[in-house]
Amino acid sequence: MNDATSFGVHRLWKDSFVSALQPGRRGPMKCIDVAGGTGDIALRILDHAREKHYDRETSVSVVDINAQMLKEGFRRFKKTMYHNTAQISFHEANAQELPSEVFPDNTFDLYTIAFGIRNCTSIPSVLKEAHRVLKPGGTFACLEFSRVNNPLLSTLYDQYSFTMIPLLGTILAGDRDSYQYLVESIRKFPPQPEFAKMIRDAGFVTGDHVDGGAWEDLWGGIACVHKGVKL
């Protein structure tokens, strides 16, 4: 369904999100991918580390609140070389209160969350937890639908979103309401400068917007990558 509503573009966004993070470039990393049930980001992280940097020690803890999503991720990983290795693990937990016995303070080098933070009821709680589990110097990276700034693109995008996505939801998944919710939740998510401020308020350094510091718009802001570093 993601493929149908985005014409597969979410895959390209995920590819560029992960390759820009360059996992494994400076040696093995401990990563946590939150709201990562499908395993899409975790798999890209491990593949990038292995293929580009010959790194077989980078690991990813995949966290999701939904056991079914985790099952799906686990099933996909079963077909990969990472299955049954220390490089991958799956955990059912809420991004807003990660269990500290499993995820102690200052544990991870990289925290990723893709198309997940929008679904969480408290964004500040998610960011606070991200800050807690990252090591000093660790990176927070978020890929999320965002705000389109160009008026023409914004009008076209609105028309597509409010008519086509719920229609595709009805036809392909028999579930108009979930896809209507998807469109509405995207509109409710804070615009880029506001979200960057929330990341800073959680204690991260985000850099300047100019030069790809605080965020990077993808496709005119249909999606956006935000990054922050824990000092």
Ligand X SMILES: C[S@@+](CC[C@H](N)C(=O)[O-])C[C@H]1O[C@@H](n2cnc3c(N)ncnc32)[C@H](O)[C@@H]1O
**Least distance between ligand X and beta carbon 115 (Å):** 4
Give the β-pairing of 204-205 and 223-230: antiparallel
Report H helices in 119-219. Answer: 123-133, 151-159, 165-168, 176-188, 192-201
149 known ligand binder: no
* Site track 18-37 with ligand X (rule: CB under 6 A), x = hit: ----------------xxxx
The verdict on 180 binding ligand X (CB under 6 A) reads no
User: Which 46-105 residues touch ligand X, going by CB under 6 A?
Assistant: 64-66, 69, 94-96
4 known ligand binder: no
User: Which 96-155 residues touch ligand X, going by CB under 6 A?
Assistant: 96, 114-116, 119-120
94 known ligand binder: yes
* 54-to-25, 26, 177, 194 alpha-carbon distances in Å: 9, 11, 45, 38
Alpha-carbon gap, residue 166 to 72, rounded angstroms: 24
95 known ligand binder: yes
Q: 88-126 burial by CB neighbour count: b if 16+ within 10 A, else e?
A: bbbbebbbbebeeeebeeebbbbbbbbbbbbbbeebeeb
Cβ proximity to ligand X: between 101 and 208 the closer is 101
**Least distance between ligand X and beta carbon 155 (Å):** 25
Q: Which residues bind ligand X (CB under 6 A)?
A: 34-38, 40-41, 64-66, 69, 94-96, 114-116, 119-120
